[in-house]
Amino acid sequence: MLRKIYFILPPFGRRIIRRVYYFPTDCYNRIFKKSESLVPPKGMSYVGSGNFKILGDKFFNHIHDTTQISENSTILDIGCGIGRIARPFAYYLTRSGKYIGFDIIDYGIKWCNRNYNKYPNFHFEHYPLKNDLYNLSTDKSASEFVFPYNNNEFDLVVLISVFTHMQQKEVINYLNQIYKVLKPGAYCYATFFLTEPNDTQSLFPYKYDNYSLHNLKVKNANVAYDKTFILKTSEEIGFKFYLSFKGWWKTEHKSNNIDFQDILILQKP
């Protein structure tokens, strides 16, 4: 019920509620200097529940263990939010490495640009695109967005909990754009909600060809995709399937899964 109310609120409303709710904690942390410089105040972090540092570190460790990145790699973090994935990369990459994050919401990008000023090889960019969960201030569609990067520029593209908030045409466009900007041999590490034919799950009751929605009023609230559709689309673009890890979203209890969402790693041959 609370989840439904939360999704129905406009993005600005959700932002105010978070700021007010966490105001006492954020004041306490500020006064007693409890916060780390690359961790935003709780009221500003809109990237999901859970511990900002623990989840960021967990994803970084898994990315590091599964893809062949090094301290000198060039990383693109799509939908970088407010730096949850950037933070562990800031402690890992040397000055020969480079990190670019982009997002459709400006305040996370502004916060990161202010707080990463000691990291000249970290860049955060804002591209306003429409998303009915996150950004209603424009009609520009992610399905037509051309990434402003060079072909074969990146050693790794990361999308944590981003395809789970995007519509089918947008996902297809992003996969094409990612393919273009990855170096040959490089990886795309992305989380999804991936459905399979005999799944029983209650999170996505509204089914369409290739995808299912969690909420009809806010379509981007959460989107699940048929696993075969995503794999077939990726292969048509040119990607090779590399690895996948099941999330625990279907079972509602954690076992040995890495995350709540499924993880898919694709490689550009």
Ligand X SMILES: C[S@@+](CC[C@H](N)C(=O)[O-])C[C@H]1O[C@@H](n2cnc3c(N)ncnc32)[C@H](O)[C@@H]1O
Query: Which amino acid, one-letter code, is at 35?
Result: S
| Interface positions, 29-48, toward ligand X (CB under 6 A) | 47-48
131 counts as binding ligand X under rule CB under 6 A: yes
In the bound state with ligand X, the residue whose beta carbon lies nearer, of 63 and 105, is 105
156 counts as binding ligand X under rule CB under 6 A: no
Q: How far is the CB of 128 from ligand X (least distance, A)?
A: 10
Nearest to 77 by CA among 169, 172, 166, 181: 181
In the bound state with ligand X, the residue whose beta carbon lies nearer, of 28 and 213, is 213
160 counts as binding ligand X under rule CB under 6 A: yes
62-70, 98-106, 148-156, 198-206 -> range binding ligand X (CB under 6 A): 98-106
Q: How far is the CB of 261 from ligand X (least distance, A)?
A: 10
219 counts as binding ligand X under rule CB under 6 A: no
Q: How far is the CB of 173 from ligand X (least distance, A)?
A: 9
Q: How far is the CB of 103 from ligand X (least distance, A)?
A: 5
| Interface positions, 179-208, toward ligand X (CB under 6 A) | none
258 counts as binding ligand X under rule CB under 6 A: no
129 counts as binding ligand X under rule CB under 6 A: yes
17-25, 164-172, 200-208, 255-263 -> range binding ligand X (CB under 6 A): 164-172
In the bound state with ligand X, the residue whose beta carbon lies nearer, of 53 and 246, is 53
